Each structure stands twice: as C-alpha cells, then as structure tokens.
C-alpha cells in the first residue's frame, strides 16, 4: 500500500482473504486458509478440517496431540484435510479448472500438498507464514513453481 492509496496490493488482498477463510478451520493445532486465484478472480477456497460429514477435531479432540506427533510429521495421522487440498478438491467438485492459478495460503504447503499443487497445474504459490517443509520447497522449485513469502 502507498500512503496516498490505502488499497492493498493484490497479493496482500488475497492473503487477507485466505486468513479470513482460515477462521473456518476446525483444527486444534493450526488454522490454515487457502484461496485459488486466476486473473484476479477467486476460483475456490479451502480451510483445514475433517472431510464433509465427519466429526471435527474441535468436537472429538486431536489424534495427533493424543499420539504426541510433532508438527510437520506423519500427516496421515490426522482426520483433517489441509486447506490447499480442500481448495483443490472444491474446485474439482464444482468443475472449476485451476490450471494456471495462483494459490494463496496462510502457511507454507507441506510436501503432500506440494505434490498436489504440481499435478493440479498451479503456477505459483504465495504464503504468509509457516514452517518450511524442505522437501516441499525443493520439489516446488524443481517443478518451476514460484513460491513467494509476504
């Protein structure tokens, strides 16, 4: 933003929307939001939480906490889907093509999400925060996907 113009830049605008989406998260450990955008138009959103129709960690507790699984490890030991996964799935469910899109996410994608991002044809990722999964960063770079942290 400039002093004369208080309108946020596009990347900040979409990251702010991702932060709002994250407020719907049902994860007890980390609230993450994701927004898929192409040509400044929102295609899909997602937040982390249990699949549709299943009980959420907010209601029954966190399996990862119960098993004392460290953050960033053993993603399969979780009831929830990641925000990035939910944004991709929602687009597919509603027939919205996302090839060439930018993913805005409140946190750095993990390696599982990075592989989905690559195969979904997403061109770039803009993140606000989060741990850096070294393998995720490596494969996104190898795939030519630009990752920007704001």
What are the extents of the domains in the chain? 10-22+30-45+82-149
> Measuring CA to CA, how many Å separate 56 from each of 16, 18, 67?
25, 20, 17
List the catalytic residues: 84
pLDDT at 73: 84
Cα dihedral across residues 47, 52, 58, 61: positive or negative: negative
Select the CATH number that applies to the domain covering 10-22+30-45+82-149 from these four: 3.40.140.10, 3.40.50.2300, 3.10.180.10, 1.20.1580.10.
Answer: 3.40.140.10
Residue listed under structure tokens 């960063």: 137
Q: Please state the separation of Cα 58 from the chain's center in Å.
A: 19
pLDDT at 3: 59
pLDDT in tens, the chain (150 residues): 555 678 999 999 999 999 999 999 999 999 999 999 999 999 999 999 999 999 999 999 999 999 999 887 888 899 999 999 999 999 999 999 999 999 999 999 999 999 999 999 999 999 998 777 899 999 999 999 999 999
Is 132 annotated as a binding-site member? no
pTM: 0.93
pLDDT at 5: 75
Burial string for 79-112 (b: 16+ CB within 10 Å, else e) reads bbbbbbbbbbbbbeeeeeebeebbbbbbbbbbbb
Describe the crossing of helices 111-119 and 83-93 by its angle, rounded to 10 degrees. Answer: 30
pLDDT at 129: 84
Is 78 annotated as a binding-site member? no
Which DSSP string corresponds to 28-67?
SS---EEEEEETTEEEEEEE-BPPTTSPPHHHH--HHHHT
Rounded Cα distance between 15 and 11, Å, is 6
CA angle 106, 112, 113 (to 5 degrees): 35
pLDDT at 4: 66
pLDDT at 132: 76
pLDDT at 103: 98
């Amino acid at each position: 933003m400039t002093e004369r113009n208080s309108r946020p830049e596009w990347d900040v605008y979409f990251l702010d929307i991702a932060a709002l989406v994250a407020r719907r998260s049902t994860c007890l450990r980390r609230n993450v939001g994701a927004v898929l955008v192409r040509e400044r138009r929102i295609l899909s959103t997602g937040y982390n939480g249990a699949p549709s129709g299943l009980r959420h960690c907010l209601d029954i507790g966190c399996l990862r906490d119960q098993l004392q699984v460290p953050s960033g490890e053993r993603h399969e030991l979780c009831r929830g889907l990641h925000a990035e996964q939910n944004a991709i799935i929602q687009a597919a469910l509603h027939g919205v093509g996302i090839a060439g899109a930018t993913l805005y996410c409140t946190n750095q994608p993990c390696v599982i999400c990075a592989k989905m991002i690559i195969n979904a044809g997403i061109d770039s990722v803009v993140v606000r925060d989060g741990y850096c999964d070294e393998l995720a960063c490596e494969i996104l770079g190898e795939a030519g996907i630009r990752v920007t942290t704001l």
